[in-house]
Amino acid sequence: MSPRAARHVLHVDLDQFLAAVEVLRRPELAGRPVIVGGRGDPTERAVVSTASYEARELGVGSGMPLRLAARKAPDAVILPVDHAAYTEASEHVMDTLRGLGMVVEVLGWDEAFVGHDGDDPRAAARRVQEAVLEATGLHCSVGIGDNKVRAKIATGFGKPAGTFVLTAENWFEVMGERPTIELWGVGSKVSARLRRHGIDTVRQLAAADRDVLVAEFGPRMGAWYADLGHGRGSAVVDDTPWVARGRGRETTFQRNLVSPQEVEAALHELVAQVHADTEAEGRPVFRVALKVRYAPFFTRTRSRKLPAPTRSLADLTSAILALAADLESGREVRLLGVRAEMVMPDGGDPQERTPVRGRI
């Protein structure tokens, strides 16, 4: 099918996805606070991936250290992240959506855009919810929009298990007085920079001088934010299978690493893991990146283009070790990651890409 503009865009978002999958296979957990994160051990350094609504009522949220979550919800069931199970459930959901004859653009494990060209998008959204529930036992919320930006933002108003319509017609009524950080693609840094220009709300962003935004954020991001204030964006739903542009591995040590020998051994291990992943992809690596997190909490990155694309573990390892040697020594390594970037796949005009495309 490939990319095509849709009359309506539905944004389908599974509710408390990881926790919901766990409850499905352990029905006795229904109604209890359930927390999924790390290896399921709250004494380890790890964070919450998903909390069930019952756990959220106790103040537990994603990104929170597991240790703290366990204190807030002492009776919660804490489970390890089970990638294979969520991947399988996700594929079942996406196949169900495709089975409805709709164009599906997968955004992550628990999210997708769906194109709809009929007259009744609300009915289509209900069909999606019923089909997903019947096939998988999972509930989802559906945002309905006249483009992807509005559909995505609409979903937040439909949770849990509901629907919401956000179009050019009600954009300012719904979003006008809200802070810019509620826009998809505006985070804490950008909202703070906007505030320095006297822009606090979505309506003010829409009224802002485009040239000022371009001067502040550059030609692409400036123009993107200007459009975002109006809720403008693409309505093209693209079901082209996703191809990773890079592969990386990152790990958190339960105990800080202090000696160069420990760091080197850890790098060997991570590079071997990334190498296995890139071998599975069958594409050579053309640049490597190294991210090192130091105590207390700052990150250094180094990247280098390789002399030639390679699939050799020895080449990758020596490249990473060279980057590591380039970083200052004598610091405690708190978290450590290796990122191996791979050759860009053919096609995909950068001008056509939506700037914000975080994927899992």
Partner DNA sequence: TCTGGGGTCCTAGGACCC
Binding mask 15-54 vs DNA (x if CB under 7 A, - otherwise)?
A: -----------------------x------xxx-x-----
Q: Which two tokens stand for residue 86?
A: 């969520």
Q: State how far the Cα of 12 lies from the Cα of 107, in Å rounded to an integer.
A: 10
Q: How many CB atoms lie within 10 A of CB 152?
A: 23
For 9-59, give the secondary structure using H, E and C: EEEEEECCHHHHHHHHHCHHHCCCCEEECCCCCCCCCCECCEECHHHHCCC
**Does 86 engage in binding with DNA (CB under 7 A)?**
no
**Does 148 engage in binding with DNA (CB under 7 A)?**
no
**Does 203 engage in binding with DNA (CB under 7 A)?**
no
259 or 299, CB closer to DNA? 299
163 or 278, CB closer to DNA? 278
Residues 6+ apart with CB under 8 A from 63: 47, 48
Binding mask 268-307 vs DNA (x if CB under 7 A, - otherwise)?
A: ---------x---------x--------xx-xxxxxxx--
- Give the DSSP H/E element, type plus range, for residue 251: strand 246-257
- The CB-of-119 to DNA minimum distance in angstroms stands at 28
**Does 71 engage in binding with DNA (CB under 7 A)?**
yes
172 or 253, CB closer to DNA? 253
- The CB-of-123 to DNA minimum distance in angstroms stands at 25
Q: State how far the Cα of 143 lies from the Cα of 234, in Å rounded to an integer.
A: 15
111 counts as catalytic:
yes
Binding mask 177-196 vs DNA (x if CB under 7 A, - otherwise)?
A: ------xxxxxxxxx-----
Burial environment of residue 185 by CB neighbours within 10 A (0 to 12, 13 to 18, 19 or more): middle
**Does 260 engage in binding with DNA (CB under 7 A)?**
no
31 or 348, CB closer to DNA? 348
- Residue 179 is given by DSSP the state B
Q: State how far the Cα of 219 lies from the Cα of 226, in Å rounded to an integer.
A: 11
Residues 6+ apart with CB under 8 A from 345: 243, 245
Q: Which two tokens stand for residue 340?
A: 């191996």
Q: Which amino acid is at 154?
A: A
**Which listed residue (22, 105, 111, 341) is catalytic?**
111
74 or 118, CB closer to DNA? 74
- The CB-of-45 to DNA minimum distance in angstroms stands at 5
- Give the DSSP H/E element, type plus range, for residue 333: strand 333-342
102 or 323, CB closer to DNA? 323
# residues contacting DNA (CB under 7 A): 67
Binding site for DNA (CB under 7 A): 38, 45-47, 49, 62-65, 67-68, 71, 107-111, 152, 183-191, 217-222, 244-252, 277, 287, 296-297, 299-305, 326, 334-335, 337, 339, 348, 350, 353, 355-360
Active site residues: 111
